[in-house]
Amino acid sequence: MTETTPGAARDDDAVARTMRLMAPPRFEDPAEERRHRLERLAVGFRVLARRGLTTGIAGHISARDPEHPDRFWVNPLARPFSLMRVGDLVQVDADGTVVEGDAVVNAAAFAIHSRIHLANPDVVSACHSHAPWGRPWSATGRLVEPTSQDACAFFGAQTVIPGFSGVVLGLDVGDQIGAAFAEPTANPSGITVAVHMNHGHITVGRSVDAAVHRFVLFEQLCESQMRLEATGKPYVVLDEDTAAATAIQTGSEYASWIGFQGAYEEIVSREPDVLD
C-alpha cells in the first residue's frame, strides 16, 4: 500500500472531482474530433492576437489531424490571427503539400511543425509566435526559474535550443527543434516549452488547448522574470522538491487544458464568426 499525507489525499480528491465535472471530450468519430481541434485552433489564434502576441506574418499554431497523423492543420500565410476562422485553416501533408484548403503556408511553419509532429507522436499541437517578452528572453539562453506557483508549471519541462542561424526554413533546424521536445526529463508531461535562442519560445501539448495556454503562460513568465531581475533586488527561487511537486499540479496536460477553457469561451461568445 502507498501511504499519502492527508493534505496530498485532499489535493488528489479535489482534482478528481474537478475532472469528473469538467474533462476533455473523447471522440469515436475522427470527423468530430477534427472539427473540435479546428475550432480550438482558430480560437487559439485569436487568443494570441487579443493578447498582442503577434508580429507581422510570423507565428503559427498546428493541430495534428486525428485521421491522418502524418498531416497537420495550420494557419495560412498572412491571414491575420485576429480574423482567423475554422474555414481558413489548411491541412498539410508530410511533404509540405496543401491537401485541404487553397492558401499558401508559411515555409517556417512547415519546417518547424512538421518535424515536431514527426519526432513526437504524442504531440497534438505546437504553438509559436514572435511575442514581446519571449523574444528578448530567448537571447539570454536561460530557463525561467521557479519563482512562483505559475513558473513551477515549467519546472523540468523546459529546454534551450542554441545556434540561431536565420529564419527557420531548413528541415535540419526543424529536426533540432523536434528533437528538443523528445529530450528525457523527470517531468511527467515531458518537455513542453523550448526556447530557441534569439528567436522565441515554442510550446506543445496533447491538445490545442494545452499548447496555446502554455504559450501564453510562458510569455507571461518571461515578462515576470525580466521584471523581477530588473528590480536589482534579491529574490527567492523555490527548492527543487517544491517546484517539482507544484509542476505536477500546475503544468500537467489537464491543468494546461483547463487553463484554456475560459479564453475559448470568451472568444466564441464575443466573436462567434471564429467557428465559421
| Tens digits of pLDDT across the chain (276 residues) | 233 444 555 566 766 776 677 889 999 999 999 999 999 999 999 999 999 999 999 999 999 999 999 999 999 999 999 999 999 999 999 999 999 998 899 898 999 999 999 999 999 999 999 999 999 999 999 999 999 999 999 999 999 999 888 888 889 999 999 999 999 999 999 999 999 999 999 999 999 999 999 999 999 999 999 999 999 999 999 999 999 999 999 999 999 999 999 999 999 999 999 999
CATH number for the domain running over 27-271: 3.40.225.10
**H or E stretch including 127?**
strand 125-128
In order, the DSSP letters of 208-236 are HHHHHHHHHHHHHHHHHHHHHHHT-S---
Instruction: Please give the pLDDT value at position 3.
Output: 35
Instruction: Please give the pLDDT value at position 15.
Output: 66
Instruction: Please give the pLDDT value at position 163.
Output: 87
Vertex 245: Cα angle to 17 and 251 (nearest 5):
65
Strand partners, 158: 193
Residue 142's contacts (CB-CB under 8 Å, 6 or more residues apart) are: 160, 195
d(CA 138, CA 25): 35
- Between β-strands 72-74 and 60-64, what pairing exists: parallel, antiparallel or unpaired? antiparallel
d(CA 125, CA 112): 12
d(CA 230, CA 130): 22
Lookup: cell for 35: 472539427
Q: What are φ and ψ of residue 166, in 5° steps?
A: 120, 180
d(CA 111, CA 173): 8
